């Protein structure tokens, strides 16, 4: 019954701006519930087309399972079907992935998202067998998630092509930044217009959509969701002058907010820091990371102001 | 009180042959209990100096937490303090690592073992801060575990040097195969004879011990524990002719049993396959892997016979 | 005087389709002179905007210096200023790079192109110092060349930003496939409209140009130069329907011709093989590669026919 | 005739301490001839068993070919057959490798040394074919050189096993630091006692020899050749107490001299700097590197003094 009520929401292919939600935390195992609710409302108010919780931006691998289940429940309860909710189930343990997927289904989520298991380096044929086994255990539709920077294991294009034939696998989110890969997927899947090709790097949202991608998963849409929605719409309408203006804004935000500090984690830290600057949620990060300290915080604060990122409730 | 009763067992530094136990499985979430008990007895009968469960060879990242807890309890109950039990607590989630450590302590294990969190790429200073936080939450002694092939994150020598000052961090197991790294650690820690330097690659057991290492974690000791114990003893006694003979046997086993099949997982598959050939336990592997199919199984069977690896209870 | 006569040709920024010419060979140290001349005429007839010799596609690192000098002379003599000629001077030896650049200048080439030295892993500050020293030894304008797959050393965006201030450095060719990197360069260099941003992967030509790139270096333009020129023109004119049609053709060629065989070198082998199929030049490759053997040759032949790639002189 | 006179020198297998000679430079294309001669005498006086010029430590890839030929001639003239001279011929161009080998032969060198071509990523079967072609063009014996840090291409153990059957291929120098690899080679080549297994990392010299390796290529032997010779002799004689004392000295030198500065090039810079501190030769490095500046120079000077590294001609 739950499935029925949801099933109308997840269009095939899924299109538009999907927000990989950060996880507001008070400490390493305590949800910032007020921050979470404020964030959900802020994002939905921006007109986005879906919410992706427990992804990389959501720090899922750093969280306890108890906390992950709590987040699933809270978010689904809060969203109440206004937009589709996708839940990350990536795990090194098959059994735990299935268990999270069960919680997602129970809470009323709309789909699950899976990067390759990231400890043992599976071969491509093993990866395909793994997906085959997994689809037999899932009820919700499944999006694949290519994230080689962190998983060190690529879903090769031919693996995706084969997996697209498995029941329940409905799309892929590519966060590799390798645009040749994305274009190869499009070519290989040209006979599958229902298979959703989502760009996982917001800097490439514009071009992904202009040349046939279906949507984009944009971390910055936690902060300024309407910017990405507008850019998506302009790209869909092939309004190139407008695309250029908005794409430039996306790049400015990226080159400022995500480039503070010296580690690869600067995107995540910058995003949470900026969200705290505009009063949405705590900037606490779970281990192995920590929030920006004063010096970096001040740089982010300056950028937030310069970029005109407004507190929610105020016009921008 | 439990700690007291155990504390006599874990010598400083820990020395000798530690067996990274494979996890006998009937299916992806069911323990092969009989196989496990047979394996524990087989290993202890071989005269080894410790058991390391839930490591890479134990497929820990592929197992559910429920199953991991079950294994901790079963093994500790079975070993009954005859040899020290070390428990892998490596996890991307700090909270889950602490939770496994708590189960290990409750079951009467002697120490825990931790590779770096392996999804997000922490910087070395973040890694050190993470270890600092973690030691405050642990009661059992902690061994670091350098395993860059799978975690893609190295504990840099200077990080280990600094971490060795944290209370409760008592040693490192290095599975990198990079012997220059191991020698650098020895040099950096020469004023800390109590800090255990364990070689994680059995092919390097002989030389690690000959030039000052304390012990070795040998996957092959699941199969023929006495071989590694004898080699360890010969190396400790600087009996070079004997070392050469036994080292050659170790290399022969490694170049046969661990080299079948085309993926990096061939060590794990070969080991489980060989254990099933001599009637110890099932060769089932959890996803993303699978047991060897017939062709590879036959090759392993042939090697087991050629190498004279005998069924337990029979003389070799 | 030579410089003067050339200086009108190399516009700032350089724009359009630049062809990374393959090197027709009879054997490892013998130029296929007839093939080379046919190829040059074929390419120029396609309306391209420049020729890049001695790049990766030209197998430069595999060729003797004697042969490289011969190629420079032959090509410049044949082109006779009809289009700009860029010459690859990438080398692990500073002195040899300068020497090739001298030959290029003497022969009347228009610019030189340089990837980072690719044996010793220089740090970014060392790389910048190296570029600083080099620009003092060069007379011709210099394009940087980002090719991390082969050099394993990236010109970091900040390094490029700094190098763009050195006299004589006039642009960059990015062959990483990492489109986020390309967009970051654009953002960092937005105040330098004269600095040429060239896309080194033909699969990304369309989007590079649509959103502000200046040109593209397309291996496939050895084979069907007019396809890439038409796509470039459509993208410049923001004619999206036409862009989509032509981009699809580019992807089809790429997914066919460059994907035969099992090694990373399949692009180079496929390209030379296809050129020999349409009668332009020999498909000999210098060590460490070799031409496709019969099975792969037949697959390429089939693709050439299916894609309608015509022999020069015949209409397609 | 030249070959004849040399052939007695190169024992099969080649054994002992081989010195990868640094290249004393006055500037990027000018040999420090006086320094070179002093260095050659210093090394030979230390009792080493061979000299390896134009390797990684010799900065060969950074030097012009003219300079490389000059070095070959100078060194061979100076050594006058007192010890075997090995010459690096690693190159991305097959033709240039053959040409350097010809110069080596003409000058009276005893063998050549070859790492895989390091720009294009050859497959293992291509690498084997490349070696096959190359052996047909060489007169001098050939050592393979495994140096994945810089070439990014490993000679897989099975490739070495196959290549060991080619006429003229007489050994391998392994600089990977991966001791499991070295032990695997020994096992695969146990029926070929004439095939020389040389350890390319001085930190592993002791254990390589203790368990059956034939020799070691030690950068530090530019500085204190007798230390490595003594350690080699102690290891050959299985004099473990003496091995331990000398191995500790080798590690102390390595952990001091090679660890200054922040880049991977610190070994090369530290070595040249230390050589200049004891008055042997200039510390100039060719691009892309540069000599240590004052701060690092002072650190090296301090270490040289603390380690008691004496000027040649003075007792230590």
> Secondary structure of C256-313 in the HEC alphabet?
HHCCCCCCCCHHHHHHHHHHHHCCCCCCCCCCCCCCCCHHHHHHHHHHHHHCCCCCCC
| Any domain includes A247 | no
Residue-level pLDDT at B162: 98
b (16+ CB within 10 A) / e for C284-298: bbbbbbbebeeebbe
Task: List, for residues C241-287, the tens digit of each pLDDT value.
Answer: 999 999 999 999 999 999 998 777 899 999 999 999 999 999 999 99
Task: List, for residues A304-314, the tens digit of each pLDDT value.
Answer: 999 999 888 65
| Any domain includes D101 | yes
Residue-level pLDDT at A2: 38
Residue-level pLDDT at B265: 85
Residue-level pLDDT at A39: 98
Q: Are D180 and B255 a contacting pair at CB < 8 A?
A: no
β-partners of residue D53 are: D87
- Which of D56, D93, D96, D117 to mutate to test binding with chain C, by most C CBs within 10 Å of its CB? D93
Helix then strand then coil, in percent of chain C rounded to 5, is 50, 15, 40
Does residue D5 carry a pLDDT above 60? no
- How many B-D residue pairs are in contact by the CB < 8 A criterion? 75
Give the chains touching D; criterion: ≥3 Cβ pairs < 8 Å. Answer: B, C
Q: Between helices B225-236 and B33-45, what is the axis angle to 10°?
A: 30
Residue-level pLDDT at C311: 82
| Any domain includes D290 | no
Distance CA D257, CA D269 (A): 9
Structure tokens at B295: 């062709």
Residue-level pLDDT at A219: 97
Q: Are D184 and B255 a contacting pair at CB < 8 A?
A: yes
Span B127-138, average pLDDT: 97
Residue-level pLDDT at B311: 82
Does residue C116 carry a pLDDT above 80? yes
Q: Are B188 and D251 a contacting pair at CB < 8 A?
A: no
Task: List, for residues B240-280, the tens digit of each pLDDT value.
Answer: 999 999 999 999 999 999 999 877 689 999 999 999 999 99
Among A96, A120, A152, beta carbon nearest to B288: A120
- Which of C56, C120, C271 to mutate to test binding with chain D, by most D CBs within 10 Å of its CB? C120
- Which of B64, B89, B118, B119 to mutate to test binding with chain A, by most A CBs within 10 Å of its CB? B119
Does residue A88 carry a pLDDT above 80? yes
Q: Do chains C and B touch (3 or more CB pairs under 8 A)?
A: no
Structure tokens at C15: 């724009």
Task: Band the pLDDT of B7: cuts 50, 70, 90.
Answer: very low
Span A75-101, average pLDDT: 98
Distance CA C202, CA C198 (A): 10
How near does any CA of chain C get to the CA of D88, in Å? Answer: 14
Residue-level pLDDT at D313: 67
Strongest mean pLDDT among B258-262, B312-316, C184-188: C184-188
Q: Which residues have CB under 8 Å from B194's CB, separation 6+?
A: B12, B13, B170
Structure tokens at B12: 């400083």
Strand segments (E) across A108-210 = 111-114, 142-146, 169-174, 196-199
DSSP state of B178: B
Q: Are C61 and D117 a contacting pair at CB < 8 A?
A: yes
Span A54-75, average pLDDT: 98
Does residue C219 carry a pLDDT above 80? yes
Does residue A287 carry a pLDDT above 50? yes
Q: Which residues have CB under 8 Å from A171's CB, separation 6+?
A: A13, A14, A143, A144, A195, A196, A197, A198, A214
Residue spans of alpha helices (H) in chain B: 2-7, 33-45, 65-79, 94-107, 124-135, 148-151, 157-163, 179-188, 205-210, 225-236, 240-257, 266-277, 294-306
Does residue D7 carry a pLDDT above 50? no
Task: Band the pLDDT of C57: cuts 50, 70, 90.
Answer: very high
Task: List, for residues B291-310, the tens digit of each pLDDT value.
Answer: 999 999 999 999 999 999 98
Chain B CB contacts of A121 under 8 Å are 149-150, 263-265
- Which of B199, B207, B264 to mutate to test binding with chain D, by most D CBs within 10 Å of its CB? B207
- Rounded to a whole number of angstroms, the distance between the first and last alpha carbons of chain B is 41
Give the chains touching B; criterion: ≥3 Cβ pairs < 8 Å. Answer: A, D
Q: Are B207 and D179 a contacting pair at CB < 8 A?
A: yes
Among C66, C263, C287, beta carbon nearest to D123: C263
How near does any CA of chain D get to the CA of B161, in Å? Answer: 13
Q: Which of B239, B257, B237 is nearest to B303 (CA)?
A: B257
Task: List, for residues C25-42, the tens digit of each pLDDT value.
Answer: 999 999 999 999 999 999
Task: Band the pLDDT of C315: cuts 50, 70, 90.
Answer: very low
Does residue D62 carry a pLDDT above 90? yes
In terms of residue numbers, what domain contains B212? 16-226+233-238
| Any domain includes C292 | no
Question: ∠ at Cα C161 (C235, C90), nearest 5°?
Answer: 80
Q: Find the chain A residues whose C-beta atoms sit closer than 8 A to any C-beta of B.
A: 28-29, 56, 59, 61-67, 92-96, 99, 116-123, 126-127, 129-130, 133-134, 149-152, 262-265, 286-290
Q: Which residue of D has its CA nearest to B240?
A: D238
Contact yes or no for A118/A149 (Cβ under 8 A):
no
Among B177, B180, B251, beta carbon nearest to D201: B180
Residue-level pLDDT at B313: 67
For chain A, the domain total comes to: 1
| Any domain includes A243 | no
CATH of the domain at B134: 3.20.20.70
Contact yes or no for D145/D97 (Cβ under 8 A):
no
Structure tokens at D194: 């004439």
Q: Prior bond to A288 cis, omega within 30?
A: yes
Mean of per-residue pLDDT scores for chain B:
94
Chain A CB contacts of B288 under 8 Å are 94, 116-117, 120, 122, 126-127, 129-130
Q: Prior bond to B13 cis, omega within 30?
A: yes
Exposure on the CB side of residue A308, measured as CA atoms within 13 A: 6
Residue of C131 and A10 predicted with greater confidence: C131
Residue-level pLDDT at C74: 98
Task: Band the pLDDT of C8: cuts 50, 70, 90.
Answer: very low
| Any domain includes B156 | yes
How near does any CA of chain B get to the CA of A272, in Å? Answer: 16
Q: Between helices A94-107 and A124-135, what is the axis angle to 10°?
A: 40
DSSP state of C70: H
Distance CA A316, CA A224 (A): 10
Chain C CB contacts of A204 under 8 Å are 179-180, 183
Task: List, for residues A177-222, the tens digit of each pLDDT value.
Answer: 999 999 999 999 999 999 999 999 999 999 999 999 999 999 999 9
Task: Band the pLDDT of B316: cuts 50, 70, 90.
Answer: very low
| Any domain includes D276 | no
| Any domain includes D29 | yes
Q: Which of C279, C274, C281 is nearest to C302 (CA)?
A: C274
Q: Which residues have CB under 8 Å from C287's CB, separation 6+?
A: C28, C62, D94, D117, D129, D130, D133, D134
b (16+ CB within 10 A) / e for B10-38: beebbbbbbbbbbbbbeebbebbeebbbb
Structure tokens at A84: 């589709």
Among A64, A120, A121, beta carbon nearest to B93: A64
Do the bridges between strand B16-20 and strand B215-217 make them parallel or antiparallel, or are there none, so unpaired?
Answer: parallel
Residue-level pLDDT at C265: 85
Residue-level pLDDT at B9: 65
Q: How far is residue B266 from each of residues B166, B291, B308, measured CA to CA in Å? A: 36, 10, 20
How near does any CA of chain D get to the CA of B217, in Å? Answer: 14
| Percent of chain A residues topping a pLDDT of 70 | 95
Q: Do chains D and C touch (3 or more CB pairs under 8 A)?
A: yes
Does residue D3 carry a pLDDT above 50? no
Q: Are D117 and C64 a contacting pair at CB < 8 A?
A: no
Burial class, D87, CB count within 10 angstroms (exposed 0-12 / middle 13-18 / buried 19+):
buried
Q: Are B62 and A117 a contacting pair at CB < 8 A?
A: yes
Chain B CB contacts of D253 under 8 Å are none
Residue-level pLDDT at C72: 98
Number of H helices, E strands in chain C: 13, 10
Residue-level pLDDT at D315: 46
Distance CA A285, CA C11 (A): 50
Span D258-282, average pLDDT: 92
Residue-level pLDDT at C314: 54
């Amino acid at each position: 019954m739950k499935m029925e009520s949801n099933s109308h929401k997840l269009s095939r292919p899924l299109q538009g701006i999907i927000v990989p939600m950060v996880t507001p935390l008070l400490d390493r195992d305590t949800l910032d519930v007020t921050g979470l609710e404020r964030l959900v409302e802020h994002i939905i108010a921006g007109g986005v087309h879906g919410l992706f919780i427990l992804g990389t931006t959501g720090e899922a691998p750093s969280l306890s399972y108890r906390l992950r289940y709590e987040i699933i429940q809270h978010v689904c309860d809060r969203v109440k079907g206004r937009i589709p909710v996708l839940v990350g189930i990536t795990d090194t343990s098959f059994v735990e992935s299935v268990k999270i997927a069960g919680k997602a289904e129970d809470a009323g989520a709309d789909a699950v998202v899976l990067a390759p298991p990231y400890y043992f380096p599976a071969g491509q044929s093993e990866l395909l067998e793994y997906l085959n086994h997994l689809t037999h255990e899932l009820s919700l539709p499944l999006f694949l998630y290519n994230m080689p920077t962190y998983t060190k294991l690529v879903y090769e294009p031919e693996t995706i092509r084969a997996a697209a034939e498995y029941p329940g696998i409905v799309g892929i989110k590519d966060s590799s930044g390798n645009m040749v890969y994305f274009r190869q997927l499009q070519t290989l899947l040209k006979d599958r217009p229902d298979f959703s090709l989502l760009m996982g790097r917001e800097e490439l949202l514009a071009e992904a959509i202009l040349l046939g991608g279906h949507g984009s998963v944009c971390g910055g849409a936690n902060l300024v969701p309407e910017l990405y929605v507008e850019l998506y719409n302009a790209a869909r309408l092939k309004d190139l002058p407008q695309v250029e203006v908005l794409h430039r804004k996306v790049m400015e935000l990226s080159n400022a907010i995500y480039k503070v500090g010296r580690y690869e984690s600067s995107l995540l830290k910058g995003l949470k820091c900026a969200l705290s600057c505009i009063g949405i949620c705590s900037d606490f990060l779970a281990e192995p990371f920590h929030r920006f300290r004063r010096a970096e915080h001040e740089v982010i604060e300056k950028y937030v102001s310069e970029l005109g990122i407004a507190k929610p409730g105020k016009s921008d």
